[in-house]
Amino acid sequence: MKTTDSQYYQCLYFTSNALARKVEKLAIESWKQVELSPSHGYVLMAVLEEPGMQPSRLSDEMQLTPSTITRLLEKLEEKKLVIRITEGKITNVYPTPKAKELLPQLKKCVNDFYKRYASIIGHKESLQLVKTLGAIADQL
C-alpha cells in the first residue's frame, strides 16, 4: 500500500514516520558493506573527521541523546574502531588505525545511499528534499 493511500497520509506524524522507515531501509542496505548500522557509520565518520571529539559534541552533531551516543560508542569500541580516553572529567573519542583504513569505504556507503534514493526520487528533488527537511527540523 502506498503511504498516500492511507487514511492518515495527511498527518505529519504518520507520513514522516513512513518516510523515515523507508529511508532507514535504504540506508541499512548501503551500510551493509561495512557491517555497521547507518548510525554507527555516521558517528564513526564524525570521530574520524574530528579526532578527540567529546561525546557531548557528538550528541549535538548527530542530534541524538547522550545515552544513545554512549551505546553507539560502546559498540564501536567492541569492533575496535574507536577508543575513549578520559582525562579528569573530560572524555575524548579517537579513531583507531582500523577505523582510519575504513574511511574510504564509509564515504562509499554515504555515496551509495545517496545514489539509491536519488535514483528513485531524482537528483534535483533529493537535494531540495534534504534542504527542506533540514529547514523544517530547525523550525520544530
Q: Which value, in Å, is the radius of gyration of the alpha carbons in the chain?
A: 17
Strand intervals (E) in the chain: 82-87, 90-95
Residue 28: strand, helix, or coil: helix
> What CATH number does the domain located at 26-139 have?
1.10.10.10
Per-domain boundaries in the chain: 26-139
Q: Output the tens digit of pLDDT for each of the chain's 140 residues.
A: 899 999 998 999 999 999 999 999 999 999 999 999 999 999 999 999 999 999 999 999 999 999 999 999 999 999 999 999 998 999 999 999 999 999 999 999 999 999 999 999 999 999 999 999 999 999 99
Say what the pTM is: 0.90
